[in-house]
């Protein structure tokens, strides 16, 4: 089988990229391992999606539904569900699905496989390994899709957004959520979620606190928990026992990059290093969505994927602007990363996305090339938990572009 | 209801987009108000005694620490960086509302559903219980499964086909 653009992953990033690639004149194939399109959105039944993209507040399944309908109506897009990519080669992808193993040749390939959750093993959680230690996304799927409850007395480790959302969901389903433990001094979850998922239900959120040991033979019987010092070392005399039958982990995400481990990756995001066209160092391979960097809003995923889809489509048709001199974009003091990390010399606007290391209040963010200010933006406040962006004109840039906080 | 606003800063610094956001959030809140009129009888809040509450504003990443004094009809908000904080705090102390999302049992498994508008916070659990009672044959995206849930004037609709 041959196509112009092959999209791996049929979540919000994959669907948006496919629609955009088709809009720009390419034949597209989406390969999705689940039975239906939508990715993680299908199990995110809470509201708060789509405020930027659709200008109205939707739930995850509704957001997915809208995109799925657009994809299904698009004659230039072929979708393979229940199909797994087993190998990515140069402009060639091996897919295992209902038709057996087949090779799809594509002029451009887009990585849109998202993330998977960090597990108990990933964070070296101490203690035994009884039933009842689950990641928040697994709990979400069991409760929202399979209609199964996971336990009665719950402790949540990590205050990421999915953990907070599941604290509320499990409470509404009749479980007692005893506490959410956060090892850091601040939560990576959105403030809105802390309020509406924890404070509304009087669920305590304990900072600088973590699980020291999981106890239980067949099923979780409880956890030893306590505070940590500034080096994240447990403080012994703060140790307390909490009886529970379920431990839910919301401790971060890992981009599913193993299939494409031949590209250059960023040490900060663990996603591919991309240029302004969302192109990796393999020219035919593009990347967008959570596999590129973890987003907090699906709206941003859809918008980013729209760009990646467009550029992949142009590349497939040989219309991507020829590469000129490469200019690196560097994140200065106070930024944890900036993406894309390179642009090509020439005219045009570029939107870069970044995260801050710490909360800043009333600062101006600038993109500079030497003393030349290419773009700037005043922000009232910015926090690490919220991805931000800055648009600037790259035509004035001749060398290294740096982002600074002033 | 009288609102005293004790602190307003960086009026000059507000960008066009921020202004738009304020307008948008205000207009959204007006819509919510419409619903609140219909559901007033369910709105049990503590308005009669003087009380002080502390909350963190969620309208923007700034996260201002607000102090809200409620004295009968008077709501006084301090610590806010902009007017959105006043709007937020006022609603939180007088009539907090939330969209409720849960799932409904059908013959083909569970299906996600939501209230079509925010309902009073104190009705969240009751609303979930109302949905839990249902055993439906089959539903599809957009189906109304409860009309005017708990007399709020708000419906519960299905949000997914599978």
pLDDT reading at A27 higher than 60: yes
Q: Are residues A51 and A199 in the same domain?
A: no
DSSP H or E stretch at residue B129: helix B124-133
Three-state DSSP string of A51-79: CCCCCCCEEHHHHHHHHHHHHHHCCCEEE
A75 in contact with chain B, both atoms CB, cutoff 8 A: no
* Chain A residues 112-151 with a CB less than 8 Å from chain B: 143-147
pLDDT for the residue numbered A391: 94
Our count of domains for chain A comes to: 3
Of B101, B105, B161, the CB nearest to A46: B101
Of A47, A147, A361, the CB nearest to B114: A47
Range of the domain at B107: 101-158
Please tell me the least confidently modeled range out of A205-209, A247-251, A312-316, B11-15. B11-15
Q: B67 vs chain A: nearest CA distance in angstroms?
A: 16
The ipTM (two decimal places) reads: 0.89
Of A146, A191, A381, the CB nearest to B56: A191
Q: What is the pLDDT of residues A355-383, one digit of tens each?
A: 999 889 899 999 999 889 999 999 988 88
Q: Which residues make Cβ contacts (< 8 Å) with residue A35, sequence separation at least 6?
A: A81, A82
CATH code for position A353: 2.60.40
Beta strand ranges found along A268-400 (DSSP E) = 285-287, 326-331, 335-339, 342-344, 349-356, 360-369, 372-382, 388-393
pLDDT for the residue numbered B32: 41
Cis peptide before B136 (omega within 30 of 0): no
pLDDT reading at A234 higher than 70: yes
Range of the domain at A406: 324-406
Our count of domains for chain B comes to: 2
- Residue A27 CA: distances (Å) to CA of A43, A107, A289: 29, 10, 21
A200 in contact with chain B, both atoms CB, cutoff 8 A: yes
Q: What is the pLDDT of residues A134-143, one digit of tens each?
A: 999 999 999 9
Point out the domain boundary residue: A225, A251, A277: A251
Q: Which of A311, A254, A323 is nearest to A7 (CA)?
A: A311
* Chain B residues 92-131 with a CB less than 8 Å from chain A: 98-99, 101-103, 105, 109-110, 112, 114, 121, 124-125, 128
Q: What is the pLDDT of residues A65-101, one digit of tens each?
A: 999 999 999 999 999 999 999 999 999 999 999 889 9
- Cβ density class A195-220: b for 16+ within 10 Å, e for less: bbbbeeeebebeebbbbbbbbbeeeb
Q: pLDDT category, B43, cuts 50, 70, 90? A: very low
B47 in contact with chain A, both atoms CB, cutoff 8 A: no
What secondary structure letter does DSSP report for A198? I
Q: What is the pLDDT of residues A178-188, one digit of tens each?
A: 999 999 998 88
A235 in contact with chain B, both atoms CB, cutoff 8 A: no
Q: Which residues make Cβ contacts (< 8 Å) with residue A363, sequence separation at least 6?
A: A378, A379, A382, A405, A406
Point out the domain boundary residue: A277, A292, A320: A320
pLDDT reading at B17 higher than 80: no
pLDDT reading at A3 higher than 50: yes
Q: Are residues B8 and B74 in the same domain?
A: yes
Q: A296 vs chain B: nearest CA distance in angstroms?
A: 13
pLDDT for the residue numbered A85: 97
Paired tokens of B145: 């499964």
Length of chain B: 162
* Strands A133-135 and A153-157, bridge-based pairing: unpaired
Q: A83 vs chain B: nearest CA distance in angstroms?
A: 19
> Which residue in the block uniquely carries the two structure tokens 């004790």?
B6
Paired tokens of A60: 């995850």
CATH code for position B148: 3.10.530.10
Q: Are residues A8 and A20 in the same domain?
A: yes
pLDDT reading at B102 higher than 70: yes
pLDDT for the residue numbered B49: 66
Burial level of B118, CB count in 10 A (0-12/13-18/19+)? buried
Q: Are residues A275 and A316 in the same domain?
A: yes
Burial level of A78, CB count in 10 A (0-12/13-18/19+)? middle
User: For residues A47 and B118, what is the distance between their CA atoms, to the nearest angstrom?
Assistant: 11
pLDDT reading at B121 higher than 60: yes
Burial level of B134, CB count in 10 A (0-12/13-18/19+)? middle
Q: Are A4 and A24 in contact (CB under 8 A)?
A: no
């Amino acid at each position: 089988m041959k196509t112009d653009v092959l999209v791996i992953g049929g979540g919000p990033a994959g669907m948006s990229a496919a629609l955009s690639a088709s809009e720009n004149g390419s034949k597209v194939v989406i390969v999705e391992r689940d039975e239906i399109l939508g990715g993680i959105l299908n199990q995110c039944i809470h509201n708060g999606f789509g405020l930027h993209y659709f200008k109205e507040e939707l739930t995850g399944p509704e957001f997915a539904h809208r995109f799925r309908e657009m994809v299904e109506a698009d004659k230039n897009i072929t979708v393979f569900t229940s199909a797994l990519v087993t190998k990515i080669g140069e402009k060639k992808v091996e897919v295992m699905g209902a038709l057996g193993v087949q090779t799809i040749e594509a002029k451009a390939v887009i990585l849109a496989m998202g993330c998977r959750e960090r597990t108990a093993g990933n964070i070296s959680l101490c203690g035994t390994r009884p039933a009842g230690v689950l990641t928040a996304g697994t709990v979400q799927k069991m409760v929202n899709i399979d209609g199964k409850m996971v336990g009665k007395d719950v402790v949540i480790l990590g205050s990421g957004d999915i953990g907070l959302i599941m604290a509320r969901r499990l409470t509404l389903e009749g479980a007692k959520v005893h506490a959410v433990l956060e090892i850091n001094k601040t939560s990576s979850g959105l403030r809105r979620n802390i309020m509406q998922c924890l404070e509304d239900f009087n669920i305590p959120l304990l900072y600088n606190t973590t699980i020291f040991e999981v106890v239980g033979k067949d099923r979780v019987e409880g956890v030893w928990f306590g505070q940590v010092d500034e080096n994240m070392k447990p403080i012994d005399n703060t140790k307390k026992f909490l009886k529970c039958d379920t431990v839910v982990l919301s401790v971060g995400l890992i981009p599913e990059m193993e299939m494409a481990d031949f590209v250059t990756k960023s040490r900060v995001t663990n996603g591919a290093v991309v240029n302004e066209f969302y192109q990796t160092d393999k020219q035919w391979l593009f990347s967008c969505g959570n596999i590129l960097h973890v987003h907090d809003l699906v709206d941003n995923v859809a918008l980013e994927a729209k760009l990646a889809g467009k550029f992949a489509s142009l590349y497939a048709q040989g219309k991507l602007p020829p590469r000129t001199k490469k200019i690196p974009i560097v994140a200065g003091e106070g930024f944890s990363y900036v993406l894309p990390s390179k642009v090509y010399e020439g005219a045009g606007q570029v939107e870069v996305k970044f995260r801050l290391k710490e909360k800043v209040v009333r600062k101006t963010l600038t993109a500079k090339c030497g003393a030349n200010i290419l773009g700037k933006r005043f922000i009232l406040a910015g926090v690490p938990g919220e991805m931000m962006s800055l648009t600037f004109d790259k035509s004035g840039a001749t060398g290294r572009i740096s982002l600074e906080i002033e | 209801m009288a609102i005293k606003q004790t602190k307003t800063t960086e009026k000059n610094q507000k960008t066009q987009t921020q202004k738009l956001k304020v307008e948008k959030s205000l207009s959204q809140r007006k819509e919510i108000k419409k619903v609140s009129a219909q559901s007033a009888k369910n709105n049990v809040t503590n308005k009669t005694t003087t009380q002080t509450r502390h909350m963190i504003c969620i309208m923007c990443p700034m996260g201002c620490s607000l102090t809200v004094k409620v004295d009968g009809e008077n709501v006084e908000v301090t610590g806010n960086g902009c007017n959105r904080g006043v709007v937020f705090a006022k609603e939180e102390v007088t009539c907090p509302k939330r969209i409720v999302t849960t799932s409904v049992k059908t013959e083909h498994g569970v299906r996600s559903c939501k209230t079509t508008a925010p309902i009073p916070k104190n009705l969240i659990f009751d609303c979930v219980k109302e949905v839990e009672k249902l055993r439906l044959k089959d539903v599809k995206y957009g189906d109304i499964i409860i009309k005017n849930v708990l007399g709020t004037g708000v419906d519960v609709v299905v949000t997914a086909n599978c």
